[in-house]
Amino acid sequence: MTLYCKHFHTTQVTDELMDTPTSRDRILTAGLSLFLKDGVETSSVADLCRAAGVSNGSFFHHFSSKDELALEIVLALRREYWDFILTEMEPHADAFDGVAGVIRAAFAYQSRFPDRYKLGRSDEASWMRGNEHRLREDNAPYRGRAARWIAAHAAAGRLPVLLPEIYGALLFGSPHWIILNAHSGPEPTDFEASRDQLVATIGKALGL
């Protein structure tokens, strides 16, 4: 999967991107741009072909449908997000620093790239239905990275032994819930206060 990843203050690309973009590369890049700008539902195959500079036949040679292209892009955005937050957790030998790092990174990604975050979390979209196995398979390496870091700290007595689902809810689910429900109350969400209170609350819950 080829996708331009604009984070860490630079323009990066996945390993599969060659020096000269292929037609598939161009379709993916055009798809990301159009889906972020206009949404998946309102972007047509004709729009995608025009933006990518490819023929209709070339599009369907690489992707069976617009929905397949959207799924491919969403999976890449999720990988981008996981990499972004886990790299702020994994280097830390101190458990609290790692916990704080991953929570702060979740808020930072959403703050810097709100449209990418929203598209990457298109869980309820019609074109995401029936692809649960793809999501699980794609998430597995990142769940493994998080589990290994947590297990090492738990084995050393720096973190309590809890079910993986509990750590998932605390470290990854809580920031997502706050971001997803932002501004749903009578007052605008204070993201900095929410982030700092969440870090302190989860740290206390874990005995850190």
pLDDT at residue 129, as a whole number: 87
> pLDDT tens, 104-126?
999 999 999 999 999 998 888 88
**Band of residue 15 on the pLDDT scale cut at 50, 70, 90:** very low
pLDDT at residue 89, as a whole number: 97
Give the residue with greater pLDDT, 46 vs 179.
46
- What value does the mean pLDDT take over residues 66-74? 95
pLDDT at residue 18, as a whole number: 43
**Band of residue 20 on the pLDDT scale cut at 50, 70, 90:** low
**Band of residue 87 on the pLDDT scale cut at 50, 70, 90:** very high
pLDDT at residue 116, as a whole number: 94
Q: pTM for this structure?
A: 0.86
- What value does the mean pLDDT take over residues 121-134? 88
Output the 3-class SS for the chain: CCCEECCCCCCEECCCCCCCCCHHHHHHHHHHHHHHHHCCCCCCHHHHHHHHCCCHHHHHHHCCCHHHHHHHHHHHHHHHHHHHHHCCCCCCCCHHHHHHHHHHHHHHHHHHCHHHHHHHCCCCCHHHCCCHHHHHHHHHHHHHHHHHHHHHHHHCCCCCCCCHHHHHHHHHHHHHHHHHCCCCCCCCCCHHHHHHHHHHHHHHHCCC
pLDDT > 90? residue 81: yes
pLDDT at residue 4, as a whole number: 41
Percent of the chain scored above 70 by pLDDT? 89
Averaged pLDDT score across all residues of the chain: 88
**Band of residue 183 on the pLDDT scale cut at 50, 70, 90:** low
